[in-house]
Amino acid sequence: MTDHRDTVRRYWASADTRDWDGFAAVLADDVRYELPQTGETISGRERYLRFNREYPGDWHLVVREVLADGDRAVSRTRFTVGGETQDAITFFGFAPDGRIATVLDYWPEPYQAPAGREHLTG
């Protein structure tokens, strides 16, 4: 049985070091990438590789957590782009051969906490 946590960690390590051959190795040929915030959907390994290769800026990431159950996994990562950091939650689905078949990326926007909750945090 494939350890999907390891596959997700290889995915992120390859992306961070721009090891595009390693990145491609963990993707199914017909991988589907979805980014709800922009409404983009990218289908196919070559298009998804190109999307990542052409992504602007000098970005790096740290994997905070990876959870896997059955043929699904989720990761929590922190990205740094040009001195700014942003967290992302990514859901993965796997093909029967253990490669990544679906990627669903959520990039929450930071916002100020509403007033009146200060006594609850700390």
CATH of the domain at 8: 3.10.450.50
Residue 116 belongs to a domain: no
Global pTM value = 0.89
Question: Residue ranges of the chain with pLDDT lower than 70?
Answer: 1-2, 111, 113, 120-122
Residue 57 belongs to a domain: yes
From edge to edge, which strands make up the β-sheet containing 84-94? 40-43, 27-35, 100-106, 84-94, 72-81, 59-69
For position 1, what pLDDT does the model report?
A: 43
Burial of 59 (0-12, 13-18, 19+ CB in 10 A): middle
Residue 36 belongs to a domain: yes
Nearest to 9 by CA among 54, 55, 67: 67
For position 7, what pLDDT does the model report?
A: 97
Residue 11 belongs to a domain: yes
For position 32, what pLDDT does the model report?
A: 97
Residue 40 belongs to a domain: yes
Residue 122 belongs to a domain: no
Residue 115 belongs to a domain: no
The total number of structural domains in the chain stands at 1
Q: Which domain holds residue 71?
A: 4-108
